[in-house]
Amino acid sequence: MSNDPLLQPYQLKHLTLRNRIIVTSHEPAYPEDGMPKERYRAYTVERARGGVAMTMTAGSAAVSKDSPPVFNNLLAYKDEIVPWVREMTDAVHEQGAAIMIQLTHLGRRTRWDKGDWLPVVAPSHQREASHRAFPKKLEDWDIARIIKDFADAAERMKAGGMDGVELEAYGHLIDQFTSPLTNELDGPYGGSLDNRMRFCLDVFRAMRERVGDDFILGVRYTADECLPGGTGQADGIEISKRLRDSGLIDYLNVIRGHIDTDPGLTDVIPIQGMANSPHLDFAGEIRAATNFPTFHAAKIPDVATARHAIAAGKVDMVGMTRAHMTDPHIVRKIIEKREEDIRPCVGANYCLDRIYQGGMAFCIHNAATGREQTMPHTIPKADIRKKVVIVGAGPAGLEAARVAAERGHAVVVFEAANNPGGQIRLTAQSERRREMISIIDWRMGQCEKLGVTFHFNTWANADTIAAENPDVVIIATGGLPHTEVLSKGNELVVSSWDIISGDVKPGTNVLIFDDAGDHAGLQAAEFIAKTGAKVEIMTPDRSFAPEVMAMNLVPYMRSLQKLDVTFTVTYRLEAAEKSGNQIIAHVGSDYGGVAKQRTVDQIVVNHGTIPLDDLYFELKRGSKNLGEVSYDELLSGAPQTVDRNPEGSYQLFRIGDAVAARNTHAAIYDALRLAKDI
Ligand SMILES: Cc1cc2nc3c(=O)[nH]c(=O)nc-3n(C[C@H](O)[C@H](O)[C@H](O)COP(=O)(O)O)c2cc1C
Ligand code: SF4
């Protein structure tokens, strides 16, 4: 038996967990009609198959009708959920993993204009900044009703075959009771700590009575809100001891921080550029103070840190949640001593930011996550070995190369630059986005193992390609910045890439016109503002940087606000003209009736890219399919069979930004879904 601390079993009451790694509760927003149907099941089972000890499903399934879903949560208050849960738990257990579910009442952390339009409830009228609803202050009958709802939901989950239930307390109703900041009730549920904890313990008591002793109950709670006047560290230790001493609960899952604002949430679940495992020592302090089973997750993305967490006795079970979205087979690879093959989580937080925009959680560089029914995590071998030539070694080209090589094909990649990475290499110029380079490094490592041939510093043309005698050619040449957006003076502007790459020196008084709204605009702003320059970001949109999304915006704002960058929304840069050594920017508005001017010494335009597609069009006439893609075949997972040109000698495809400006995930998805069927 291995002596790896991570691979030691753990006895949680009657439940034997096969190792020390868990996936903590998270809602990927895959439910259909509030139920965990096929997509949800496939996603969950893949992690069990990959070897994790326990997967905690559902981010906070709702127990009550007045806790309507804010990110497509499961509806644990409906009886019809039981058979769906049963199918999922049976399938997970078959893989040897345990499975629990998180239940919650969101309290004020939701909106009244969802679900049944019932009033949002909380122990005070104060609204939560993130969700904006002004709550109704709970009455006695609400409290009794919700306690019963928790017990009913726990009973449903037990009937569905779950090994246990975890309560999502932090930021949700239970900790809204516990925190002095959000509880304005009088006794018996408000006032003293005893009173503020009463709701939590009443809920556990009601659930325990219903589910009996042979069922795990745990709580995920904040043991330090990190807010003036809130639950502090000393209170957190006291709360932890009281939870333990209640005898109702089997483990503690420790959170540090508060989630009522985007910055608060981002400190609880840190993203790229923020420190790894920032709350691990704190979780260790709770474990030491309580001597009670302690779980914890917060940016422990790599096996070495997870191993340290267990070996140093900081926690009993270590959560690697986003890491498992990136690679569901972490434990299998540890067991097989292939840790270098683990696809690394780069903290891009595309997964989590998407759900707060109403989308499903997708991983920025694993397009199979959440698409297990159609996209493979392990690529099957092809029957016939082909010669595949790929032009471009950005994320799309490298993913195509990796997948084609996994299929067993002979793969050759041409890249004009002297190293791989394309736009990702540029992105990683920013200190805080440096982790992005692992998207490239991991693929290069895999490609080298699989024998892919790379030619860097090579501008491939039709002759270069013909000399390879390919069966398939994939153009992944990306795009070039598109700055021609003005009616006059386009020659006076530079692109955000010019700034980020260092090709153009920042000005001293700069207008950034950003209607792409992605990272590049803010990255350029930060580069420029850090030189001491005056910077204004202008967008015609209602809000700036919409593609960056909520949690990714936090580190930018922390930096840009300090640097005194100004943000102007709903105005459009229309034209520019030279005036001595200055530039006059003519500004209008899509709403009409506005004509303003700015005098600056540099204008930066961030307007996405235009495809670099000359080679594709050059190669079209020599191809069998004349570049055509059958979308029916692509979407049904069948090989491409378009044959429109009897003279053609190869199939030709184009992926990523060489087709149209999109993002890293789209580029990688393009590559995976095409190359897996070649
Ligand atoms: C898409 C997504 C949804 C999440 N939803 C929940 C949730 O509903 N309840 C919860 O307690 N944590 C939720 N989390 C937080 C995770 O459980 C975990 O604490 C967090 O991702 C930090 O751990 P990690 O760095 O290992 O990913 C969510 C995380 C993700 C990525
Ligand atoms: S999107 Fe980023 S943070 Fe989320 S799982 Fe993927 S790599 Fe990790």
- The string of DSSP codes covering 83-136 is HHHHHHHHHHHHTT-EEEEEEE--TTSS-TTSTT-PPPEESSSPPPTTT---PE
Question: Which value, to the nearest 10 degrees, does the dihedral of the CA atoms of residues 281, 247, 170, 552 take?
Answer: 40
Q: What percent of the chain has pLDDT over 90?
A: 98
Condensed to tens digits (0 to 9), the pLDDT of residues 430-447 reads 999 999 999 999 999 999
Q: Which of 351, 454, 363 is nearest to 402 (CA)?
A: 454
CA 435 to chain centroid, in Å, comes to: 14
Question: Beta 479-481 vs 609-611: how paired, if at all?
Answer: antiparallel
Q: Is the CB of 346 under 6 A from ligand 2?
A: yes
Q: What is the mean pLDDT of residues 574-599?
A: 97
What are the tokens at 104?
């919650």
Q: What is the mean pLDDT of residues 371-396?
A: 98
Query: Residue holding tokens 């393009």?
Result: 670
pLDDT over 90 (residue 210): yes
Q: What is the distance in A from the centroid of ligand 1 to the CA of 222?
A: 14
Looking at the CA of 221, name the nearest ligand: 1
Q: Is the CB of 240 under 6 A from ligand 2?
A: no
pLDDT over 90 (residue 179): yes
* CA of 28, closest atom in ligand 1: 1
pLDDT over 90 (residue 71): no
Give the global pTM: 0.97
Q: What is the mean pLDDT of residues 533-552?
A: 96
Query: Residue 288's pLDDT band (boundaries 50, 70, 90)?
Result: very high
pLDDT over 90 (residue 1): no
Q: Is the CB of 325 under 6 A from ligand 2?
A: yes
What pLDDT was estimated at residue 453?
98
What pLDDT was estimated at residue 548?
96
pLDDT over 80 (residue 149): yes
pLDDT over 80 (residue 577): yes
Q: What is the distance in A from the centroid of ligand 1 to the CA of 298?
A: 8
Q: What is the distance in A from the centroid of ligand 2 to the CA of 253?
A: 22
**Distance in angstroms (rounded) separating the CA atoms of residues 523 and 553:** 11
Q: Is the CB of 322 under 6 A from ligand 2?
A: yes
Per-residue exposure over 334-368, b if at least 16 CB sit within 10 Å of its own CB, e if not? beeeeeebbbbbbbbbbbbbbbbeeebbbbbbbbb
Q: What is the distance in A from the centroid of ligand 2 to the CA of 165?
A: 26
Strand locations in 200-307, DSSP E?
216-222, 251-255, 294-296
Q: What percent of the chain has pLDDT over 70?
A: 100
pLDDT over 80 (residue 291): yes
Q: Is the CB of 266 under 6 A from ligand 1?
A: no
Q: Is the CB of 265 under 6 A from ligand 2?
A: no
Protein residue with least CA distance to atom 13, ligand 1:
26
Q: What is the distance in A from the centroid of ligand 2 to the CA of 645?
A: 42
Amino acid making up residue 12 = L
Protein residue with least CA distance to atom 6, ligand 2:
363
How crowded is the C-beta side of 482, counted as CA atoms within 13 Å?
17
Condensed to tens digits (0 to 9), the pLDDT of residues 302-344 reads 999 999 999 999 999 999 999 999 999 999 999 999 999 999 9
Amino acid making up residue 159 = A
Query: Residue 358's pLDDT band (boundaries 50, 70, 90)?
Result: confident
Q: What is the mean pLDDT of residues 376-388?
A: 98
Q: Which of 195, 435, 181 is nearest to 299 (CA)?
A: 435
Q: What is the distance in A from the centroid of ligand 2 to the CA of 49?
A: 20
pLDDT over 80 (residue 618): yes
Query: Residue 400's pLDDT band (boundaries 50, 70, 90)?
Result: very high
Q: How many CB atoms lie within 10 A of CB 456?
A: 13
What pLDDT was estimated at residue 4?
98
Protein residue with least CA distance to atom 5, ligand 2:
322
* CA of 349, closest atom in ligand 2: 3
Protein residue with least CA distance to atom 1, ligand 2:
363
Contacts of 154 (CB under 8 A, 6+ apart): 103, 165, 207, 210, 211, 215, 217
* CA of 73, closest atom in ligand 1: 8
Q: Which of 436, 363, 396, 349 is nearest to 609 (CA)?
A: 396
Q: Is the CB of 435 under 6 A from ligand 1?
A: no
Query: Residue holding tokens 């006794």?
Result: 187
Q: What is the mean pLDDT of residues 380-390?
A: 98
Q: What is the mean pLDDT of residues 241-256?
A: 98
Q: What is the mean pLDDT of residues 285-303?
A: 98
Condensed to tens digits (0 to 9), the pLDDT of residues 486-510 reads 999 999 999 999 999 999 999 999 9
Give 14-37 as a DSSP string.
TEEESSSEEEPP---S--BTTB--
If you count them, how many residues does the chain have?
678
Q: Is the CB of 350 under 6 A from ligand 2?
A: yes
Q: What is the mean pLDDT of residues 640-646?
A: 98
What pLDDT was estimated at residue 70?
87
